Structure 1
Amino acid sequence: MRAVVIEGAGGPEVLSVQEVDDPVPGAGEVLIDVVAAGLNRADVQQRRGYYPPPAGASPVPGLEVSGTIADAGDSQFAEGDAVVALLAGGGYAEKVVVPAGQVVRAPEGVDLVEAAALPETAATVWSNLVLQAGLAPGDDVLIHGASGGIGVMAIQVSLALGAVPHVTAGSAAKLDVARSLGVRTLVNYREQDFVQELMAATDGRGADVILDVVGAKYLARNIQALATGGRLVVIGLQGGATAELDLGALMGRRASIAGTTLRARPVAEKAAIMAAVRESVWPLVATGAVRPFVDRTFPLAQVAEAHAYFDAGEHTGKILLLMP
């Protein structure tokens, strides 16, 4: 089969498509003929040499795919079933082996190519906003990076649950995406202070939940932006990994901080998250409350161009790779 190989740490030029051995499913695994794979920041960090795959995972990048079952093994699936899967690696390839628990049938009414935009974003958002932070109807939620795949999914899920999203992004065009989804508090972080804007929008109360992809750079201001009893969930480190924390400010708000990743979690945990996605997010997809946002697609042979486009930072929603 053809798959993407990372030939050393660096820019998009280190990515090439090569012939490699087909993966062979083991006990409890299924084999998927891949239709499309989603690009994620974790893939970029792996390419740059900062985020190696977990022990035992494929060195091929790619954390989410859509496709059809080629070998169902002893799973509940049948050959030919249309599915999506959450991966620890291996998605940038014509075939991938996945633990069966991390595979769910693709939601009805969604094109199988576009469905590749859903598993990583839905699993990340549901596990962090709902399972971790306990997002509830009426909660004010601050979402950083509003126009990316995670941000767009977080906005849609928040609105579907009756929460009130407030967002940050770095351009008017990106904020327009959030506006089109129904968000009213739109903060251009290059021109405005998100703490001030959030406090104005919430009558000085702050956010019940903050979903943060920035990390260290935003830590102090995120604490300032929390409401009493607020929950900060850090899922990315685009702004660095080390910062000083004012514990007094945290304690004064009776607030909490959680830092999570998805890729390295045990198979059983990822299976439970995907089961929750199937049970709770797929019905929202069926009603149209949640839908995949695809910015652009690239054929597998243009993986370097796809990564260059991702690195430019101008996309909104997901970038997908299409298998030949």
Structure 2
Amino acid sequence: MINIPSPQKVLIIFNPISSAGNTESLAHEYGEFLANHGIAVEVSESKKKMKSYKLLETDITGHDLLVVIGGDGTVRKLLPLLSKTDTPVYMVPGGNESLFARSYGMSANTEDLLQAITNGRCLEQFYGLISGNGIQGEKPFFIMASMGFDSLTVKQIGKRIGPINDSTYVRCGFNALVSLHHPTVTAYIDGQTVIDRKSGYVIVANSSAYARNLQLVPTANPSVKKLVLGFLPGAKHQHELIKALRMLQHKPAGLPLQYFSGESISLTLHDPSYPLQVDGDYFRNRDIEAGSTIKFSISQKPIRVLI
């Protein structure tokens, strides 16, 4: 925990396709609210491509606080800029999940944001990086990356155009369940083999926020410079039904996942190719090719989260 001067210049970035598509009006509502409290505000629309976010560096550097109105994918694309500029971030939940916001108790209440600004308290948090075959540079993530039912669902969602709502997840989830199959992988933690060519559900987590009630990766913590690999060998359709039932009951999934942790995780995918979902997005809009090795590592410099 660190203390910073109360932010007086705020940049609000909104993702126009998050949730029901009402983030733009919400962004201007927040801007007007903060301006009425003597805070200088600029409102900007998020970029569509990851590489386009680099154009925002000057804008972010010139402000004391970045407020994101959108989903976890919007925050994910901003992570390298946030660590580079040391600009604190606050997220107003504007996506269907908004796991980043919910894990820090952030809400859509304007008074909550004003109180956070007044208090000026930040947590320094680390994030994950993905590199490997066919990946240019390092791609960031904050919550998790996974292969399984959820990545098959997100791939279906990624084909759609326009705002995404809960019914979209239901329809795409049903299609994913019908065609459910799991990847075959070999995994290494800090150079040591922990999974040798086995099929199952795979999740690499930096935070325990994903499916919080299910507690799929309860030990993952962005305050710690380690990632957690969860693996459910021989995952089947009934495991997804159990997860759905436990989610409705607000209870832990209780599935026999195997856990491993370290600063570096390598994952080799065997036949066939498979989609990877990262913080709720279909990674790079194409499947990971069979025979590819993906590397997950932890950032060397943290970001600042206004709480």
Q: Shared fold by TM > 0.5?
A: no
Higher relative contact order (CA 8 A, sep 6+): 2
